[in-house]
Amino acid sequence: MDSSADFLTWSLCLVLFLALWQPQGAQGTQTVPGLGINWGSQVSHPLNPYIMVNLLKDNGFTKVKLFEADSWTVSAFSGTNIEVMVGIPNVLLAHLADNSKHAENWVKNNLTKHLDGGGVNIRYVAVGNEAFLESYNGSYIKTTFPAMVNVQKALEKAGLGDKVKVVTPLNADVYRSPSNLPSHGDFRDDIYDEMKKILQFLSEKNSPFVVNIYPFLNLHQSIDFPEGFAFFNTGTKTIQDNNLQYTNVFDANFDTLVWALKKAGHSDLKIMVGEVGWPTDGAQYANPSDAEKFYKGLLKQMANKKGTPLRPGVIDIYLFSVSDEDLKSIAPGNFERHWGIFRYDGKPKFAIDFSGQGVDKMPLGAKGVQYQDRQWCVVNPDLKNQSTLGRALDYACGGADCTSLGFFSSCADLSVVGNASFAFNQYFQVRDQSVEACDFWGLGTIVKEDPSNGTCFFPIEIVSSGRRLHKLTGFLIGCLLMFVTFM
Ligand SMILES: *[C@@H]1O[C@H](CO)[C@@H](O)[C@H](O)[C@H]1NC(C)=O
Ligand SMILES: *[C@@H]1O[C@H](CO)[C@@H](O)[C@H](O)[C@H]1NC(C)=O
Ligand SMILES: *[C@@H]1O[C@H](CO)[C@@H](O)[C@H](O)[C@H]1NC(C)=O
Ligand SMILES: *[C@@H]1O[C@H](CO)[C@@H](O)[C@H](O)[C@H]1NC(C)=O
Ligand SMILES: *[C@@H]1O[C@H](CO)[C@@H](O)[C@H](O)[C@H]1NC(C)=O
């Protein structure tokens, strides 16, 4: 190992050490009962899993939901007691449905080692994610249920049938109510037969129905949606359904599902909310203060153990999500990369009290994060002729995340030059600040002074943990020595 690699190993190790080390008594408070959080991984520069796990622990989380079963990520939960839901991406459904051997291999390669002596508390496998979403044009309708069955059989064969439950998180678009009254709720016609099989399966295995509910999307997608109804206890609109009154769309949506289940003959199936959240950029209403307001209402309702009119009591809910994801598809809208309660670097964006007591304070941020150099790429201030900036901006945005530019976004008020600078910097940072990535035909220049302007934040990228995977072995040995020395 050369000396620079050696230095890198030791500094990473120090980071890890700082991330894991906690003074006695510094443990975070408990979250409100039933609370979990999603951790998505579609990012160019992932945080070190150990730093992320510590962030979750510091904030009192005891449940996490992942979208994959990446080995390094899952093993970071070893010995933590955090309940883990791992995911199987939709692209694997056909493969797993096709042959029970494939499912056995999946379980063997991705689950067994973490459970048998691996010390990870895996409790759920999410087979597919929103597989019946209408925008998928039916691509996964025929394979989801058979994949669930094969994964279940594989779990039983591996002796994990009692410990790990098979679920399939579905978007709330699998049911609807033509009148918007919850009591008129029913499952979509095109998936009704598959839904019946899935419901029967969940019922037999005593597994929950996992649904993703997004009040933000109700507000975003329909111009005449009453704003207050997307939040909690704002008292602007109510829906009267027989003898029940609804004051927010979350409850109404949830109870629409309760009715749909009842009509399908499964009224006592447990329901878990797999995703609910509010984005902070990229669209109208997508901002930190609306997100803060939404979560405050939701967490307070959870703390009251109020449940919904048809399902009073504690409801298990996973927030979406822990941090921003700069590689997510923006087909749904620019907001799609900004669902994080924390930024890309694990810094909190707004006040949120996960205990549901409504205390006005920032959550605890990530510790031990390593940043790249303190520098940015902007439009050269000596530039006289701006006519080529548009082309350079398009080029930069073609290879980086520009979802903060444009209408209703945090960088909407920039000048033409500011716009291009933002795009240049995004491009430069995501390429690990390589000097060539700030050229732009001579239009770009590297500066040491923070160009952030008002709400428009110019980030400095973190050192990606993903790039270090190949150094893992040396790294672990180095770390082990360090732990032995210091703990
Ligand atoms: C899980 O197992 C499958 C099948 O053995 C394998 O192809 C895949 O790479 C594994 N890892 C993840 C993260 O799914
Ligand atoms: C679904 O169909 C639409 C319209 O035909 C198409 O634009 C889209 O790419 C399709 N999506 C998928 C996931 O196949
Ligand atoms: C700016 O540059 C463009 C393209 O090189 C050129 O066509 C235009 O005349 C220049 N404008 C001025 C004011 O120099
Ligand atoms: C900045 O860029 C965005 C996205 O390309 C665009 O919508 C906006 O109009 C631009 N603003 C200015 C002042 O050029
Ligand atoms: C900074 O923001 C102000 C107001 O939002 C705007 O007028 C100005 O043009 C911005 N500067 C740049 C370089 O975009």
In a domain, 456, yes or no: no
Active-site pick, 68, 104, 194, 275: 275
Q: From the CB of 415, is ligand 5 less than 6 Å away?
A: yes
Per the domain annotation, does 8 fall within a domain?
yes
User: Is 194 assigned a catalytic role?
Assistant: no
Give, using CA atoms, the residue closest to atom 11 of ligand 3. Answer: 385
Looking at the structure, do residues 399 and 310 belong to the same domain, yes or no?
Answer: no
The C-alpha atoms of residue 478 and residue 9 are separated, in whole angstroms, by 7
Q: How many domains does the chain have?
A: 2
Q: Is 387 in the pocket of ligand 3 (CB under 6 A)?
A: yes
Q: Tell me, yes or no, whether 284 and 430 share the same domain.
A: no
- Which residue, of 337, 359, 391, is where some domain finishes? 337
Three-state secondary-structure class, residue 37? strand
| Residue that finishes a domain, picked among 319, 337, 355 | 337
Q: Return the best residue to mutate from 383, 384, 386, 387 for the ligand 3 pocket (most ligand atoms within 8 A of CB).
A: 387
* Residue 372 beta carbon below 6 angstroms from any ligand 1 atom: no
Based on the domain organization, do 330 and 387 belong to the same domain? no
Within 10 A of 198 (CB to CB), how many other CB atoms are there?
Answer: 26
User: Which numbered ligand comes closest to the C-alpha of 441?
Assistant: 3
> Residues 155, 61: one domain?
yes
What is the Å distance from ligand 5's center to 416 Cα?
A: 9
Specify if 345 maps to a domain. Answer: no
Q: Tens digit of pLDDT for each residue in 210-232?
A: 999 999 999 999 999 999 999 99
> Per residue in 89-143, pLDDT tens?
999 999 999 999 999 999 999 999 999 888 999 999 999 999 999 999 999 999 9
Cβ of 472 less than 6 Å from ligand 4: no
SS in 3 state form for 82-103? CEEEEEECHHHHHHHHHCHHHH
Residue 363 lies in a domain: no
Within a domain: residue 454? no
- Same structural domain for residues 331 and 382? no
Which residues 6+ apart lie within 8 Å of 30 measured at CB? Answer: 60, 62, 355
* Ligand nearest to the Cα of 396, by number: 4
Structure tokens at 485: 């020395």
Q: Which of 68, 104, 130, 194 is catalytic?
A: 130
- State whether 405 and 278 are in the same domain: no
Residue 342, domain member (yes or no): no
Note if 130 is an active site residue: yes
Q: Are residues 289 and 195 in the same domain?
A: yes
Question: Residue 17 C-alpha to ligand 1 middle, in angstroms?
Answer: 29
Residues 304 and 417 in one domain: no
Identify the segments of the chain with pLDDT beneath 70.
1-28, 466-487
Q: Tell me: do 229 and 279 sit in the same domain.
A: yes
Query: Which of 91, 133, 137, 140 has most ligand 2 atoms within 8 Å of its beta carbon, as the pocket-test mutant?
Result: 137
246 domain residue, yes or no: yes
Same domain membership, residue 239 and residue 100: yes
pLDDT tens track for 440-465: 999 999 999 999 999 999 999 999 88
For 48-72, the pLDDT digits (tens) are 999 999 999 999 999 999 999 999 9
Same domain, 123 and 227: yes
CA of 281 to the centre of ligand 4 (A): 15
The finding on whether 418 has its CB within 6 A of some atom of ligand 5 is yes
Which structural domain, as residue segments, surrounds residue 98? Answer: 3-337
- pLDDT, position 2: 41
317 φ, ψ (degrees, to nearest 5):
-135, 130
Distance (angstroms) between ligand 3 centre and the Cα of 391 equals 13
Does some domain include residue 385?
yes
Choosing from 308, 337, 366, the residue where a domain stops is 337
What CATH number is attached to the domain comprising 303?
3.20.20.80
What pTM did the predictor assign? 0.91
Give the whole-angstrom CA distance, residue 167 versus residue 155: 13
In this structure, the answer to whether residues 146 and 267 fall within a common structural domain is yes
